[in-house]
Amino acid sequence: MRQPLLALLAKEPAHGYELKLALEQIFGEAYPSPNIGQIYVTLKRLEQDGLVRSEDVEQTTRPNKRVYELTPAGRDALRAWVGEPSDGPRVRDEFFVKLILAPMAGLADRMELMNSQRRHYMGIMRSLTELQADADPADVPARLLIEGAILHLQADLDWLERCQEELV
């Protein structure tokens, strides 16, 4: 949550609710809606770390609002984040750990685990496909986010087939 907030604040100062709305608007329904409490806690930590600063802005018909802006240190941190590669494939996959260890411990059958995981993936795939069908064609970030999630999910399903071929 830290880096997306810093990136939004690099564009312009904002208060927490504006940041929440911006994330929802930019990424659409496929992106998990951020919890407003989490946003404010993160903003407070960013301020404690010297990456943002805030000030209360008076409003005539509403309570004052706290507006946050990026500091030079925040801009440097954001540039560093943008410049470093993102994590690659998951090596420590929680499902794979269950798949290997649970049968060894007599806690589960491998085939049952794989079938359960496959059903779970297929349910997510159905939801994403519905989102994709309903997506606004002009909303490129949301469409690409959904498409990327579907492609990753398809890769997970393909990998699950390989696990079944090798382990069962």
Could you tell me the CATH number of the domain that includes residue 41?
1.10.10.10
14 and 46 part of one domain: yes
Whether residue 79 lies inside any domain: the answer is: yes
Domain extent at residue 28: 2-83
Please state, in angstroms and rounded to a whole number, the distance separating the CA atoms of residues 121 and 32. Answer: 17
Please state, in angstroms and rounded to a whole number, the distance separating the CA atoms of residues 43 and 41. Answer: 5
Q: How many domains does the chain have?
A: 2
Among 83, 116, 143, the domain boundary falls at 83
Dihedral sign computed on CA atoms, order 96, 102, 108, 109: positive
Predicted TM-score of the model (pTM): 0.71
Identify the pLDDT of residue 152. 93
Measure CA of the first residue to CA of the last residue in the chain; give whole Å.
40
Q: What is the largest CA-CA distance in the chain?
A: 68
Whether residue 88 lies inside any domain: the answer is: no
Instruction: Give the position of tokens 């779970």.
Output: 120
29 neighbors 97 (Cβ within 8 angstroms): no
**pLDDT per position as a tens digit, 71-126:** 999 999 999 998 888 777 777 788 888 888 888 888 889 999 999 999 999 999 99
138 and 99 part of one domain: yes
Please state, in angstroms and rounded to a whole number, the distance separating the CA atoms of residues 56 and 18. Answer: 15
What is the pLDDT of the chain when averaged over all its residues? 90
Kindly state the tokens that stand for 22: 């911006």
11 and 78 part of one domain: yes
Show the beta-strand stretches assigned E in the chain. 52-57, 65-70
Identify the pLDDT of residue 160. 93
Whether residue 89 lies inside any domain: the answer is: no
104 and 50 part of one domain: no
